Amino acid sequence: MATKSKVLIIGGTGYLGKRLVKASLAQGHETYVLHRAEIGVDIDKVQLLLSFKQQGAHLVHGSFSDHQSLVDAVKLVDVVICAISGVHIRSHQILLQVKLVDAIKEAGNVKRFLPSEFGTDPARMENAMEPGRVTFDDKMVVRRAIEEAGIPFTYVSANCFAGYFLGGLCQPGYILPSRDHVRLLGDGNQKAIYVDEDDIATYSIKSIDDPRTLNKTVHIRPPKNILSQREVVQIWEKLIGKELLKSSISKEEFLASMKEQDYAEQVGLTHYYHVCYEGCLTKFEIGEEGVEASMLYPQVKYTTVEEYMKRYL
């Protein structure tokens, strides 16, 4: 049996990062988590790091402001996974990864790098609107740096995080489902793809030692989770035994209301627009440059939308 890669996870205390640490340990990888000085006295993050240590992970000190510390951390492992935030309503740090690319290139030992992506495939979003396109543009800057440096990579496109989209019945600004009313975006019939965050982590870790995913984009498209907003609402209505009152907001109304928000909100709303009004996640074939996770790893029992939404009952 091949030896499992040693893994370094950067951003391990974040929303997806903590799940990546858990999945890496669960799949038997020697797991290192970067302890960044920037955490300071954030007691929740410090205690989370200590809990990782108790579960068998190694904590490694390092900082994006200290190049040598990144090089030293990278030299400990075979695979580097970065999960720093790219969400403007929290913090947008995508371009910091260029420093990580420099460290990986200097170290010279990394067999695979998974940069912080995990959402919409940025290579498909060259026509995205301002200001939301900054997310995709920055991710493409990182991709170009990786490829120019000759670093082996896997990009993970996980589409819609279930907690953000399903929790609010695909309505921006909501993360708990109403039992009374829902506002449909347009006609509510555009298909999107919803993935449990734990499943994103599981599939991502599965990919790191797989030759089929080397220098490819892994698209996570669980077949049962390719649904429209209306279909998500219908699943919720079935679970609660009640039909919701429905209204809708047109594309024009949505765009007009978006302009009244601050910059960070506009970035997120632009993404909702492309997903829910244009159906950007399902309007293309994966092609030779990518692979699909649920087909690669049929042994993974992914969480369906209905299973996920039972937690809100």
Residues assigned a catalytic role: 139
The answer to whether the peptide bond before residue 177 is cis (omega within 30 degrees of 0) is no
Residue 264 and residue 171: Cα distance in Å, rounded? 17
Torsion angle (degrees, nearest 10) of CA 17, 23, 24, 27:
-170
Paired strand residues for 195:
161
For helices 133-148 and 97-107, angle between their N-to-C axes, nearest 10 degrees:
10
**Roughly how many angstroms between the first and final C-alpha of the chain, as a whole number?**
44
In contact, 82 and 116? CB cutoff 8 Å? yes
Per the document, the length of the chain is: 313
Could you give the maximum distance between any two Cα atoms of the chain, in Å? 59
Reading the block at residue 65, the tokens are 């402001």
